[in-house]
């Protein structure tokens, strides 16, 4: 894969913006604590309320899982208790599926909308760092 320096810089800036936006957002911040919880949020968003998938299916599909399944179940239980995850009926009687609350879904989609907008750094209050190069010229991200 041949990636240009400008493309890498753009991706790094978008990732920096994501971390800062999510880190400052009360609803999204708990999901950024661990990579597997961020992945879980994205999976639940994509499958939101699809009754074919239950909680165990979500856990089974986590490729970044480094903690125990019990830890993840406790995380899910806490998100259900606070109302950011909603339990929906699965296709099978014993299956519980998950969906995002309307507020969490809106926050996540707004966050990604801001990240995608490459002209929106200042508009969302993000100060991008300035780095010194070896030639002492400033590079502003």
What kind of architecture, by CATH, is found in domain 5-140? Orthogonal Bundle (1.10)
- At residue 133, the pLDDT reads 44
Q: Which residues contact 85 (CB under 8 A, 6 or more apart)?
A: 44, 76, 79, 98, 99, 100, 101, 104
pLDDT of residue 61: 92
User: Across the 141 residues of the chain, what is the mean pLDDT of every consecutive 10-residue run?
Assistant: 73 82 88 94 91 93 95 98 94 91 93 68 50 46 46
Q: Global pTM? A: 0.75
Distance, in Å, from the CA atom of 5 to the CA atom of 44, rounded to the nearest integer, reads 33
Domain extent listing, the chain: 5-140
Half-sphere exposure of 107 (CA within 13 A, CB side): 17
pLDDT for 37 equals 97
The model's pLDDT over 99-122, given as tens digits with 9 standing for 90+, comes to 999 999 999 988 888 776 654 445
């Amino acid at each position: 894969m041949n990636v240009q320096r400008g493309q890498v810089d753009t991706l790094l800036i978008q990732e920096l913006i994501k971390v800062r936006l999510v880190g400052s957002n009360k609803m999204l911040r708990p999901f950024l604590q661990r990579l597997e919880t961020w992945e879980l949020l994205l999976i639940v968003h994509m499958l939101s309320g699809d009754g074919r998938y239950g909680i165990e299916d979500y856990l089974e599909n986590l490729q970044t899982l480094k903690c125990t399944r019990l830890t993840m179940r406790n995380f899910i239980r806490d998100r259900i208790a606070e109302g950011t995850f909603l339990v929906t009926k699965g296709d099978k009687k014993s299956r519980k599926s998950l969906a995002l609350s309307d507020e969490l879904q809106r926050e996540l989609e707004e966050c990604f909308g801001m990240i995608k907008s490459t002209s929106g750094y200042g508009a969302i209050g993000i100060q991008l760092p300035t780095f010194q190069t070896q030639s002492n010229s400033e590079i502003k991200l």
